[in-house]
Amino acid sequence: MIDACPSTGDLVAVELGRIATQYREAEHLRGYMTAALSQVEEIARVTCAIPDYFDIRTAVGEQLTFLGKRMGFPRCHCVCDSRPVVGFACETQTTPYAIVGFCEDSTWLGCDGYAEICLSDDEVYRAHLYARRYQMLGLFDLQSLGAAVRAVWGNAAWIPQAGAGRVVLAPGRDLTTAETQRLSVTLRALPIAPGVGIAMHYGPAPIAGFGAGWAGFCDSVPDQIVVGFDCADEPSQRPIGGFCTDAVWTACAPSVVPAGYWLCPVPIDPYACP
């Protein structure tokens, strides 16, 4: 409840304090006034708490659904049927589809129809409404888009590329099956200006590039010498030293920073079938 709402007994005490001096010893009068004012106070407390039920940060259930409708983003959306498809997953190739076996509830690729996806979980829906706020206000700058994608996918999400009429989004981690299935709904909530294309870079791997926030093109090996024995036929990435050198155990040395991967944007139209 917001701080401005009165605590139990506050309003009753204020009103009893206004009784004329000659009636302050009248117990029956005070008792009657206390009983009547307590009911009025309870009504005031309930009324005062109503805005809390429609605060986007705390609303749940039907109240959150009501907010979403007023924001133009209902819980349920008509999208292409995004059921898992039959196939074999390749570890080296990312895909927007959930790949499953023949014995699971699935469909063939290309046999998609239309279905309804509902954001039933309150916290998932709330995150999408946080993103929708920027879109409602027409805040199509990169800072707003960055805040929106982090609200939906977490702090690892970022925008690796934007320009020439297209923006590339990277969740910074593997999307869950549920997140993949509702991806088109998620993209509809983001503050991306009409006419700007959308592409996704899947996976948690760092992306190779130049400057802050980008990974290098080669593994970054620390100069710290580690204790061990080098093999002539299989040289170590790290500098190796003996026990009497300025070396540390491998577990105590700085980690090798792996090389980044190439940016691989996959174009997506959130209002069309894949």
CA distance 9 to 252: 61
3-class secondary-structure state, position 7: coil
> Look-up: residue for tokens 């991806």?
183
CA distance 158 to 67: 27
- Pairing mode, if any, of strands 240-241 and 266-268? unpaired
Helices (H), the chain: 10-16, 27-53, 61-70, 122-136, 142-153, 177-181, 183-189
The pLDDT value given to residue 214: 59
pTM of model > 0.75: no
One digit per residue, the tens of pLDDT, for the chain of length 274 reads 445 777 888 888 888 888 888 877 888 888 888 888 888 888 888 888 788 778 899 889 999 999 999 999 999 988 775 566 777 766 666 566 667 776 766 665 555 556 778 999 999 999 999 999 999 999 999 999 999 999 999 998 989 888 889 999 989 888 998 898 899 999 999 999 999 999 998 877 677 665 565 555 555 445 556 566 666 655 555 666 656 666 655 555 555 555 566 667 889 888 876 5
CA distance 189 to 169: 13
Q: What angle do CA 80, 164, 176 make, to 5 degrees?
A: 35
List phi, psi (to 5°) of 180. -65, -40
3-class secondary-structure state, position 198: strand
CA distance 6 to 243: 71
Which DSSP helix (H) or strand (E) runs through 79? strand 76-80
- If you count them, how many residues does the chain have? 274
The answer to whether the beta carbons of residues 267 and 198 sit under 8 Å apart is yes
